[in-house]
Structure 1
Amino acid sequence: MDCRLGCGACCIAPSITTPIPGMPNGKPAGVRCIQLNEQNLCKLFGKAERPAVCGLFAATEDVCGSTDAEALWLITTLEAATN
């Protein structure tokens, strides 16, 4: 599956423990990444500054569901289950 442009769930729901430009300590779960623009697109996509964990994320139906809202719910649920 391809990412749904403008979804942004993977940039909001999970915690990221590695530095992100503008967020040197990473980001907690449920906090919008500072690098997510108004259209929910990554400002660092394709750039060396993008955290490796972000580049490794692969959209799959079991993680992203069929809607943006479902993706946010699923990723939030997975994040909570792994803490």
Structure 2
Amino acid sequence: MKCREGCGACCIAPSISSPIPGMPDGKPAGERCVQLSVDNLCNIFGRPERPPVCSGFAADVEVCGASSEEAIRLIGWWERMTAA
């Protein structure tokens, strides 16, 4: 599966514990990443300062579903199910 351009769910729904430029402590689940543009595109895509967890994310129907809204719900569910 390819990412849906302008989706942004993976930059909103999950928590990210590693530093992100502009968010040195990472981000909590459900909070929009400061690097996510108004068009829901990553401002640091392909740049070395992009966290490895972000670079390593691969779209999959299991987490992305059929729409951005479904992706928010599914990624949120996975976040809750895997929280320590």
Same fold judged by TM-score > 0.5? yes
Aligned-residue offset at 1:5: 0.4
Residue in structure 1 matched with residue 50 of structure 2 by the alignment: 50
Root-mean-square deviation (Å): 0.4
What is the aligned partner in structure 1 of residue 11 from structure 2?
11
Structure 1 residue 12, shift from structure 2 partner? 0.2
Equivalent residue letter for 2:25: N
Partner letter of residue 38 of structure 2? E
Aligned amino acid, residue 58 of structure 1: A
Residue of structure 2 equivalent to 1:59? 59
Normalised by the length of structure 1, the TM-score is: 0.99
Overall identity of the aligned pairs, in %: 61
Aligned residue-pair number: 83
Match of 2:75 in 1: 75
Report how far residue 73 of structure 1 moved. Answer: 0.3
| Structure 2 unpaired stretches of 5+ | none
**Ranges of 4+ aligned residues in structure 1 off by more than 2 Å:** none
After superposition, give the CA deviation of every residue in 1:40-81 in whole Å (9 maximum; x if it has no partner): 000000100100000000000011001110000000000011
